[in-house]
Structure 1
Amino acid sequence: MDNPTPDRNSFQNLSTDKAKGLGNVPTRVNLLACIRYEGRRLERLNSVMQAIEKTINSTAFRRQVLEFRYRGQYSFYYRRNLLGRYIDKPYTNAQVYEIIMDAQELVKEDPEPTIDLYLELVIGSNGSVIGYGNPGSKEIYTYSEMFDQMEIDELANHYVHEWCHKIGFDHSYLPTAKRNSSVPYAIGNIIETLLDGNPSHIE
Structure 2
Amino acid sequence: MSTPHIVVLGLGNLLWADEGFGVRCAEALYAGHTLPANVEVIDGGTQGLLLLPYVEAADHLLILDAIDFGLPPATLRVFHDDAVPAYLTAKKMSLHQTGFSEVLALAELKGTTPAAITLIGVQPAELEDYGGSLSPAVRARLPEALAIAVQTLAAWGVQVQPASGDGARLNDASLDMTRYESERPSADSACRVGDARVLFDGEPH
Shorter-chain TM range is 0.3 to 0.5
Structure-2-length-normalised TM-score: 0.32
Task: Flag the structure with more relative contact order, 1 or 2, with Cα contacts below 8 A and sequence separation at least 6.
Answer: 2
Structure-1-length-normalised TM-score: 0.33
Which is strand-richer, 1 or 2? 2
